[in-house]
Homo-oligomer: A and B are copies of this chain.
């Protein structure tokens, strides 16, 4: 059987990408049937289990719907459930330009909650910074970010203002992110927060507390986000 070279993209991911390309190019529209598992296996020269593995991830993201006895079909457009994306990526998906303003940047030693969520010793110093996030010149969210100060010693305010945090982690620190655990509720923003977000008083905000983990299952950062509820909503899929 054909062998793949080491360290290449796994076959099941190549199959996913092939399907995503077909959807993005308009070749497949919502409701259309995707190639069957057996066809995908034959087309890509892989076994049935491998083709199935590729589809299963796309299904959990809502990209495709599988119906036993019937087939696999393209899901509703532009909805990706339970997908951890950077703010930059989310806005790009909506065709909006992102800008960010770093409101503060400090190293602090008294952030008990953040330190606990990052599973660090209680006296650990953390980098703390606040960013106001704009999509197409409109404020969307105020994010407060915490990272272990020792692990990310070289991280500066200037770097943050230049590029996206996700890429800094990847290219400067070799850290790939894999998932985030999030706690979501609603809150009345403080006066200063409301002013930053240009919210009229009394309008609620969506509060998302997320702990983001690396591919090695280590907590990397804790983010407290306050989102304008009229501009941003969370899409989630839950399973029985």
Q: A-side interface residues toward B, CB under 8 Å?
A: 49, 60, 62, 65-67, 79, 81-84, 176-188, 202-207, 216-217, 229, 232-240
Between-chain CB contacts (< 8 Å), 22 pairs: A62-B181, A67-B216, A67-B217, A81-B181, A82-B238, A82-B239, A83-B240, A84-B238, A84-B240, A176-B240, A179-B239, A182-B237, A183-B233, A184-B206, A184-B236, A185-B229, A185-B232, A186-B204, A187-B229, A204-B204, A234-B236, A236-B236
Across the interface, A240 reaches (CB within 8 A) one of B179, B205, B229, namely B179
**B residues within 8 A CB of A232?**
185
Q: How far is the CB of A227 from chain B (nearest CB, A)?
A: 8
Bound-complex Cα distance A65 to B216 (A): 10
Name A229's contact: one of B186, B233, B234 (CB within 8 Å): B186
Copies in the complex: 2
Residue of B nearest to A180 (CB): B238
Main SS of chain A's interface residues? strand
Task: Determine if A238 and B186 form an interchain contact, defined as CB atoms under 8 angstroms apart.
Answer: no
Query: A183 with B238: in contact, given A67-B216, A188-B203 (CB under 8 Å)?
Result: no
A184 touches B184 (CB 8 A): yes
**Cα distance A176–B239 when bound, in Å?**
12
Tell me if A240 and B186 are in contact (CB < 8 A). no
The answer, among B82, B206, B217, for a CB contact under 8 Å with A185, is B206
Cβ contacts under 8 Å, A205 to chain B: 186, 204
Closest to A178 in B: B240
